[in-house]
Chain A
Amino acid sequence: AQSVTQPDIHITVSEGASLELRCNYSYGATPYLFWYVQSPGQGLQLLLKYFSGDTLVQGIKGFEAEFKRSQSSFNLRKPSVHWSDAAEYFCAVGAPTGGFKTIFGAGTRLFVKA
């Protein structure tokens, strides 16, 4: 069965510092991987996705993620964090099994300090 682990419940970084959010997944085949962001009281917005091809994917808002099959990881990075990036970030894995079920990690809440 698929599963997603986000080891960090919350992370605090200074504005302008770099960011890496960790994500490990478990899935038997080539996974479909996503990162979503959720601001307070809002729905989830897709930051980026990986289906196949280049293992380094670029997303919106200056985010990128790297798929590493050997480590079953899909970590999210940003070189310089802005205060507006404070939100909750969810890693997810999708499986096209008849339908399409997306399993989310528990989320990592990002705090940005001035």
Chain B
Amino acid sequence: DSGVTQTPKHLITATGQRVTLRCSPRSGDLSVYWYQQSLDQGLQFLIHYYNGEERAKGNILERFSAQQFPDLHSELNLSSLELGDSALYFCASSPRGGAGGRRTEAFFGQGTRLTVV
């Protein structure tokens, strides 16, 4: 158990809908990262938040947004869902996440499997 909690574990929804994925980082971790894993794209970095602020952005679609709250949990919002958004969405956390430092390895949650039908 990595200490990172993601809910829900599974989600099935229809095209055009909006969903929210939730992530609780390990106790004390300030950084939260979101990744999308699909068969054709592999593991894609979406976004990084550090202590409530967006710090780095990857291949995140405009239909997707994220935020990190004062209690450090994070939510990933996916809207106008398409069939191609079906994937495993991972959240990871780390103690830091700025430039350099030892403690920048990420600890991953079990993921949320999203199926769009």
- Which of A's residues lie within 8 Å of B, judged by CB? 32, 34, 36, 42-46, 49, 51, 90, 94, 96-107
Over the window 8-42 of chain B, the binary record of Cβ atoms lying under 8 Å from chain A Cβ atoms (1 yes, 0 no) is 00000000000000000000000101010000001
Q: Which residues of chain B are within 8 angstroms of A36 by Cβ–Cβ distance?
A: 108
B116 at the interface (CB under 8 A from A): no
With A43-B90, A51-B102 known as contacts, the answer to whether A102 contacts B110 (CB < 8 A) is: no
How many residues of B are counted as interface, with CB atoms below 8 angstroms from the partner's CB atoms? 32
In the bound complex, CA of A49 to CA of B102 (Å): 10
**What are 22 of the A-B contact pairs (CB < 8 Å)?**
A43-B90, A44-B90, A46-B107, A49-B105, A90-B43, A96-B98, A96-B101, A97-B99, A99-B48, A99-B54, A99-B98, A100-B33, A100-B48, A100-B55, A100-B104, A103-B45, A104-B35, A104-B42, A104-B45, A106-B42, A107-B42, A107-B43
Shortest Cβ distance from B45 into A: residue: A101
Contact check, B94 vs A100: say whether CB atoms are below 8 A apart. yes
User: Nearest residue in B to A101 (C-beta to C-beta)?
Assistant: B56
Q: Given the interface contacts A32-B104, A43-B90, A46-B107, does A100 sit within 8 Å of B2 by beta carbon?
A: no
Instruction: Find the A residue at minimum CB distance from B113.
Output: A41
Q: Establish whether residues B108 and A34, one from each chain, have CB atoms under 8 Å apart when the complex forms.
A: no
